């Protein structure tokens, strides 16, 4: 996604959808389905798709469920709709995965986030997989410690792969430079948190 007009259209559609406009919901789904599908795949990794035979259906259901929760979302000039939508949709997919695991009597917990290396290296050794999972679990914990705005800018860049211009528009920032500065501050804080987490 690299067109601010898409994000402007999103705001218009969100406003309509919050007034229970079903056509607006359908348009939001079509507009962001592929971006969110890719982001959820990056966040959850490959293993979950092997466990859910209908993984594509699970993703689509998660996105639709998130869209139907739009009453809980407020732009307020600060919030990011796409980051919020990703979090809600991902949570729905994880709920479905946990239910599938419970049916199989599998006590394993939901899998942590997947690293890019893990996604690109299907032949990684078990120790490499374990290291990658632990690294991403630490990242997930540290992300939750960031202020919401800084957490969202990292979500937008890392998982939704938005440009600085898109981030500027999505977060209502005054310039691309402001988007870069916010991202830089957020990444610096995240690095400090990760160092502290690793030192424990």
Q: Quick one: tokens of 183?
A: 């991202």
Instruction: Give pLDDT tens digits along the chain (200 positions).
Output: 556 677 778 888 988 998 989 999 999 999 888 888 888 877 776 656 666 656 678 788 888 888 888 888 876 544 688 888 888 888 888 887 777 777 765 444 444 444 444 344 455 566 665 666 677 778 878 888 999 889 999 989 988 888 899 898 888 899 999 999 999 999 999 999 988 877 77
Q: 90: alpha, beta or left, given left = phi > 0 and alpha = psi -120 to 50?
A: alpha
Q: What local confidence, expressed as pLDDT, does residue 114 receive?
A: 43
Query: What pTM was computed for the model?
Result: 0.68
Q: What is the pLDDT of residue 115?
A: 41
Domain limits of the chain? 4-112+124-199
* C-alpha separations of 30 from 48, 82, 86, 88, 184 in Å: 24, 14, 15, 17, 32
SS (H, E, C) the chain: CCCHHHHHHHHHHHHHHCCCCHHHHHHHHHHHHHHHHHHHHHHHCCHHHHHCCCHHHHHHHHHHHHHCCHHHCCCCCCCCHHHHHHHHHHHHHHHHHHHHHHHCCCCCCCCCCCCHHHHHCCCCCHHHHHHHHHHHHHHHHHHHHCCHHHHHHHHHHHHCCCCHHHHHHHHCCCCHHHHHHHHHHHHHHHHHHHHHHHHC
């Amino acid at each position: 996604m690299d067109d601010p007009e898409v994000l402007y259209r999103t705001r218009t559609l969100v406003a309509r959808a919050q007034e229970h406009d079903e056509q607006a919901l359908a348009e939001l789904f079509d507009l962001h389905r592929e971006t969110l599908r890719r982001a959820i795949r990056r966040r959850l990794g490959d293993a979950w798709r092997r466990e859910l035979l209908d993984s594509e259906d699970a993703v689509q259901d998660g996105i639709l469920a998130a869209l139907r929760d739009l009453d809980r979302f407020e732009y307020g000039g600060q919030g990011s709709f796409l980051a919020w939508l990703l979090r809600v949709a991902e949570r729905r997919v994880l709920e479905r995965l946990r239910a599938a695991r419970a049916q199989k009597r599998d006590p394993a917990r939901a899998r942590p986030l997947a690293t890019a290396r893990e996604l690109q290296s299907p032949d990684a050794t078990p120790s490499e997989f374990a290291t990658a999972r632990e690294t991403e679990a630490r990242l997930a914990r540290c992300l939750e410690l960031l202020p919401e705005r800084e957490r969202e800018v990292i979500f937008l860049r890392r998982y939704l792969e938005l440009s600085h211009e898109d981030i500027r528009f999505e977060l209502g920032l005054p310039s691309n430079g402001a988007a870069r500065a916010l991202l830089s501050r957020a990444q610096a804080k995240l690095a400090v948190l990760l160092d502290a987490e690793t030192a424990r």
